[in-house]
């Protein structure tokens, strides 16, 4: 059986634990600038309709009495590592899928710890005793069903879906609960009178693939309770990004490039820390109408150079006609490969040689900042 552990309102709960005066209050994690978005909201705030990714100004209208807390990502990452350590005490097969959720495969662990239900209760108790936090756990035969189950009795919930109940569960599962079913896919399914996941079985797989592409094939499998994905410990990083919501909408590309510079430094630093290189650089923008725009560039050779990442993002920005004012800007790196991947160089390969030079400079700066602090050295403008 698979367990899906989902921390309850993780960021907000950590803040309430670290600051007892916040317990019982409406806590919203996010910069109270009127321009940002909600990173997390306590369950007290959620009662007023506040949700993650909601614009701060909207959250303030819904819950004017809320206490706003600036996010402390390093603190949340530290707590997350300790929680993942607790999970590892119960099974060697732990897959952290985000900072606040993980899958645990407990097959073969019954002799040590008992039934999956008992293991789940032990995990909940350990997390509460050691960390002062609550979590919700779903138990099911596969990852897909376990994730759905963990969301059914939140907060502090536990839902067990035995194999013999899977068919009945699928028949009554609202189709919008299936990961990947968004507004557009939902419209297609509604036109087919698919209201519950079980309704999918009225159609042939080939018909669903014709209408929905690859997702149609997965949806067909899920409708039969089949999910072959395994719990994979230490899942490799797929992308690294940094973004910033501006205090004021901007239409000046020079100003936007200043943000790109610092974001490229952060992305490059993270790549070097994880000994990775990126093949693709992505520029992310969100305009004043909240429309999100992304533009990507594949590099000639994989890089971990902050300067190379910045130049790629900057060129993508230059090539884009802003049209409207921008409220959010970000840089991402994907197509990640191991840092030791050989990079072919030649006497005539100028860009590659410059990239290698910048990587040496970046690594030297990393060593200095790790020893003397993040503000000890900066690149010139």
- Spatial CA neighbour of 105 closest among 148, 79, 155, 140: 140
CB count in 10 Å sphere of residue 140: 27
Element (H, E) at 68: strand 67-69
- Spatial CA neighbour of 36 closest among 52, 58, 56, 64: 56
* Separation of alpha carbons 97 and 353, rounded Å: 36
SS (H, E, C) 219-273: HHHHCCCCCCCCCCCCCCCCEEEEEEEEEEEECCHHHHHHHHHHHHHHHHHHHHH
Q: Could you say which DSSP state residue 10 is in? A: H
* Phi and psi torsions of 340, nearest 5°: -85, 5
Active-site residue numbers? 101
Q: Could you say which DSSP state residue 22 is in? A: G
Residue pair 26/48 in contact by the 8 Å Cβ criterion = yes
* Phi and psi torsions of 33, nearest 5°: -110, -10
Residue pair 177/148 in contact by the 8 Å Cβ criterion = yes
């Amino acid at each position: 059986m698979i367990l899906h552990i989902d921390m309850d309102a993780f960021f907000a709960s950590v803040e309430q634990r670290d600051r007892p005066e916040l317990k019982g209050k409406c806590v919203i994690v996010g910069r109270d600038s009127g321009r940002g978005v909600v990173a997390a909201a306590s369950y007290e705030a959620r009662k007023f309709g506040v949700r993650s990714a909601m614009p701060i100004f909207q959250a303030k209208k819904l819950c004017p009495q809320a206490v706003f807390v600036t996010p402390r990502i390093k603190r949340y990452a530290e707590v997350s590592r300790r929680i993942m350590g607790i999970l590892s005490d119960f099974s060697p097969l732990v897959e952290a899928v985000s900072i606040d959720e993980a899958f645990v495969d407990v097959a073969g662990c019954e002799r040590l710890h008992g039934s999956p239900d008992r293991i789940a209760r032990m995990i909940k108790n350990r997390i509460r005793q050691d960390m002062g936090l609550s979590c919700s756990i779903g138990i099911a035969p596969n990852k897909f069903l376990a994730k759905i189950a963990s969301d059914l009795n939140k907060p502090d919930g536990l839902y067990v879906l035995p194999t013999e109940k899977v068919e009945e569960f699928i028949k009554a599962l609202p189709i919008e609960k299936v990961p990947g079913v968004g507004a557009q896919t939902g419209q297609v399914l509604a036109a087919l009178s698919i209201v519950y996941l079980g309704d999918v079985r009225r159609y042939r797989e080939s018909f669903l693939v014709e209408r929905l592409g690859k997702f149609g094939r997965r949806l067909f499998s899920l409708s039969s309770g089949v999910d072959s994905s395994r719990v994979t410990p230490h899942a490799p990083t797929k992308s690294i990004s940094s973004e910033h919501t501006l205090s004021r909408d901007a239409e000046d590309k020079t100003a936007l490039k200043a943000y790109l510079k610092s974001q490229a430094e952060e992305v490059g630093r993270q790549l070097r820390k994880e000994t990775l290189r990126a093949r693709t650089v992505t520029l992310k923008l969100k305009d004043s109408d909240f429309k999100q725009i992304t533009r990507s560039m594949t590099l000639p050779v994989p890089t971990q150079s902050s300067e190379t990442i910045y130049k790629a993002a900057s060129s993508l920005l230059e090539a884009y006609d802003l049209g409207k004012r921008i409220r959010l800007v970000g840089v991402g790196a994907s197509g990640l490969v191991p840092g030791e991947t050989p990079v072919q160089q030649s006497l005539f390969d100028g860009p590659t040689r410059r990239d290698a030079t910048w990587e040496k400079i970046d690594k030297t700066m990393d060593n200095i900042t790790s020893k003397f602090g993040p503000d000890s050295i900066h690149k010139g403008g």
